[in-house]
Chain A
């Protein structure tokens, strides 16, 4: 079945450091890939998405590229801020016509001044 694997956290960085959160997936067909962010005490917000191979999603300085050959969708940001501290979820929806999101376990990011 479909699944998503994320690197375990927590990830602790200093402000302005480079961020990478690894995400790999297993899926049949042509899934769409997503990164969601959950700030403390809030629901999930869509951060970025990519719907086909080699697409790059980007938003708020974050980027991720849909790599079909390595089944990966790693999240990157060149310079993190304290306000980026949150839990990040990698997710996919299958190409089967349903909207169900399959989530990874989540990675907690803590950025210190």
Chain B
């Protein structure tokens, strides 16, 4: 089954304790990204990757890191989490780079609900 998986699904942690949220897709997609969802704000992009070893900042990258060493995996790293990073996080992937008149569906993972105390 084609899917995007995230782990863990739920996490409660304390300020300053490094954590990693994993994301994996089995569709051989080039493009992967991370979003956070906050009430009243919709989803906002944190980081994205166009391919292996190619990553770039989205709209809200502060406090986050990513890496793309393999095509299927795109972990999100919070080196020193703070309470304002309490949110619902989604990983997404799609086939390739969008071009004019040609869009690729983005597939979303089930989400990771993170609480930082």
CA distance A101 to B106 in the complex (A): 9
| Chain B residues, CB < 8 A from A4 | 42
- For the A-B complex, the count of residue pairs with Cβ-Cβ distances under 8 Å equals 67
- Asked whether A100 and B99 contact (CB < 8 A) given A45-B108, A89-B42, the answer is no
Is the pair A89, B48 in contact by a Cβ cutoff of 8 Å?
A: no
Q: Which of A46, A101, A105 contacts B40 (CB 8 A)?
A: A105
Q: Does A49 contact B (CB under 8 A)?
A: yes
Is the pair B48, A100 in contact by a Cβ cutoff of 8 Å?
A: yes
Q: Which of A30, A44, A49, A105 contacts B100 (CB 8 A)?
A: A30
Q: Does A43 contact B (CB under 8 A)?
A: yes
Q: Which of B35, B41, B98, B111 contacts A93 (CB 8 A)?
A: B98
Interface centre among B43, B90, B94, B99 (most CB of A within 10 A): B43
Is the pair A43, B90 in contact by a Cβ cutoff of 8 Å?
A: yes
Q: Does A25 contact B (CB under 8 A)?
A: no
Residues of chain B from 44 to 66 with CB closer than 8 A to chain A in the complex: 44-45, 48, 58-59
CA distance A84 to B83 in the complex (A): 33
Q: How many residues of chain A are within 8 Å of chain B by beta carbon?
A: 25
Is the pair A104, B98 in contact by a Cβ cutoff of 8 Å?
A: no
Q: Does A97 contact B (CB under 8 A)?
A: yes
| Chain A residues, CB < 8 A from B111 | 42-43
| Chain B residues, CB < 8 A from A101 | 35, 43, 45, 92, 106
Is the pair B42, A51 in contact by a Cβ cutoff of 8 Å?
A: no
B94, closest chain A residue (CB): A99
Q: Write 9 A-B pairs (CB below 8 A) sorted by A numbering.
A: A32-B103, A44-B108, A52-B101, A98-B97, A100-B58, A101-B106, A103-B35, A104-B42, A106-B42
